[in-house]
Structure 1
Amino acid sequence: MTIRPGAGDGTSVDRLTVRYRKAHALDGISLSLGSGVTGLLGPNGAGKTTLMRVLATASIPSEGEVTVLGRDPRVPAQRQDIRRRLGYLPQTPGFHHHFTAFEFVDYVAILKEHTDRRGRHDEVRRVLEAVGLSQDRSKKIKALSGGMRQRVALAAALIGDPELLILDEPTVGLDPEQRLRFRELIADIAARRPVLLSTHQTEDVAALCHRVIVMGRGRVRHDSSPRELSEVARGAVWFSGERDPRALAGWRTGTGAFRNIGSPPPGAELAEPTLEDAYLLLNADLPAHTQEGSTP
């Protein structure tokens, strides 16, 4: 299933290409975003961050069309309007380490043109509470743990209740309890507007996303629901007493049996496939399985 670019106040790219010297970071991709959480999966260098930077108006495409919230980011006035309505958490947030958590998020709110001081400070307190940092809002950024800094950056992305939320590796550094709270928060936001989420955590995709896009080498390799993606690996995952040398990947499970991924031998004990299994198969370029449901 491939969703093609739409119109109106939507967000889409059409034949989007980004080149760095002779290399293609993105190679002519087309997709559009609807409501709910769309997950981006792919190895490092697949083009996920480049796509997100283009949609966040932080990078300029070499070719193709881009529409964000119905606006053209190439037009300065429309680009500024996009930034007012957008929430963006980059892969590596830039902090002013001498700011407190409150001061940093307030600074971002000022950049987004929240000019009423009292209303702005109410909004800063709201988003800090949403990410569980109300008690730590007066601490300096440099004194916070990595997970807490990540939550400060997420709070900054939530300023103004954005109409589109773009999150690049948002759960890095979060402990299990914080990740569960993050999922609750994002699921609530996605009930009202689009969220684009890039992550290496397939369990976050399975838990949150109604749609998952697998990228590789600057292209969309697969675009479907998480359940449909998992089906790509059906018949390609099996258990054995020892690691099968023919397997692309295999590991000993808690029961002592090995779980193998690849082309099973005749009579193998097949396992129920997971989203992670399918993702590994797609990255391994198995002809028998990467073609099913994929988007070249």
Structure 2
Amino acid sequence: MTLTSATDVAVRADGVVLRYGRTTALDGVSLSLGTGVTGLLGPNGAGKTTLLRVIATAVRPDAGSVSTFGHDALRGPGRLAVRRRLGYLPQDPGFHPSFTAFEFVDYVAILKELTSRSARHAEVRRVLALVGLDSVRTKRIRALSGGMRQRVALAAALVGDPALLILDEPTVGLDPEQRMRFRELFADLGEDRAVLLSTHQTEDVMSLCREVVVLDQGRVLFTGTPTDLAGLAAGRVWTSDSRVPGALASWRTGSGAYRHVGDPPPGAPLLDPTIEDGYLTLVDLHTAEAQR
């Protein structure tokens, strides 16, 4: 069963805490995911991958709860029920290099309890075709490019038409054309299911996501639309003919003018903020508060 409306809640996490020794990877994370694509942004080390692993039932937190499709995703029968409706693309899929693309996806299909050989093989061919790998399905994974390996991993995540997709940096290693095709695919997938997409590509978030969550130092800093996130930098983006010392970010654009993010000087020509400007502003403010 897939989700059917924007009001459906696929995942609800409440007060999730996870520690590795003295390091707190997740510090009271609460969020909910519904139908559509939700983007997860944050600096390296913010806890994004850890959060995805918790939601994907790969690791159990020290405290808090996770409910997925009404099941307790952290324990026994509920966790098994969630896994049957879940597609997960981790950062490192752990390929066996001697497998062909078909064999790897078929192996994942067996783990997902597709027991009928003919039906399973038809499903494997379907998902490989969906990611554009039908012509190389008999090639060994070690002979494939990095981008093709990423697509094999995505095909494995799509086996069984899951109602919840968790994707950790799915466009890494893809060229611009492939990334555009994947955006189209993710947008289609998000029409009737929940997709949680972790990425460093803010343009992917702006193009795809109905909601965006920003995580930093294990805490949720922001939840809202991409437009709302961009709006956090309203009045803080300006242009000039030279670099301005003290700006949060400053770079020379292709036109030769400089674009700045930060506190503009009086009378500076303001520019419309992007989601990247809002993200930089949000993380900078949080860092400044943490240092006080």
**TM-score, normalised via structure 1 length:** 0.93
Cα displacement (A) at 1:77: 2.2
Residue 75 of structure 1 is matched in structure 2 by: 75
1:278 lines up with 2:278 in the alignment: yes
State the percentage of identical aligned residues.
63
Deviations 1:96-133 (A, max 9, x none): 11000000000000000000000000000000000000
1:119 lines up with 2:119 in the alignment: yes
Residue 16 of structure 2 is matched in structure 1 by: 16
Q: For 2:65, what is the secondary structure of its paired residue?
A: strand
Pairwise mapping of residues 33-44 of structure 1 onto structure 2 (< 5 A)? 33-44=33-44
Contact 2:9/2:34, CA 8 A, preserved across alignment: no
Moved more, 18-27 or 76-85: 76-85
The one-letter code of the counterpart of 1:213 is V
Gapped regions of structure 1 (runs ≥ 5)? 1-6, 291-296
Aligned-residue CA RMSD (Å)? 1.6
Residue 223 of structure 2 is matched in structure 1 by: 223
Distance 2:125 2:97 in 1: 19
Q: For 1:192, what is the secondary structure of its paired residue?
A: coil
Distance 1:287 1:132 in 2: 42
Cα displacement (A) at 1:93: 1.1
Pairwise mapping of residues 133-144 of structure 1 onto structure 2 (< 5 A)? 133-144=133-144
Q: Against the structure 1 CA distance between its residues 163 and 66, is the aligned structure 2 distance closer, same or farther, given a 3 Å change threshold?
A: same
Distance 1:77 1:201 in 2: 36
Cα displacement (A) at 1:262: 0.5
Deviations 1:59-78 (A, max 9, x none): 11000111122211232222
1:253 lines up with 2:257 in the alignment: no
1:56 lines up with 2:56 in the alignment: yes
1:181 lines up with 2:177 in the alignment: no
Pairwise mapping of residues 139-288 of structure 1 onto structure 2 (< 5 A)? 139-285=139-285
Q: Against the structure 1 CA distance between its residues 127 and 147, is the aligned structure 2 distance closer, same or farther, given a 3 Å change threshold?
A: same
Q: Against the structure 1 CA distance between its residues 122 and 182, is the aligned structure 2 distance closer, same or farther, given a 3 Å change threshold?
A: same
Gapped regions of structure 2 (runs ≥ 5)? 1-6
**TM-score, normalised via structure 2 length:** 0.94
Contact 2:227/2:275, CA 8 A, preserved across alignment: yes
Deviations 1:32-56 (A, max 9, x none): 1110000000001111111100010
Q: Against the structure 1 CA distance between its residues 12 and 236, is the aligned structure 2 distance closer, same or farther, given a 3 Å change threshold?
A: same
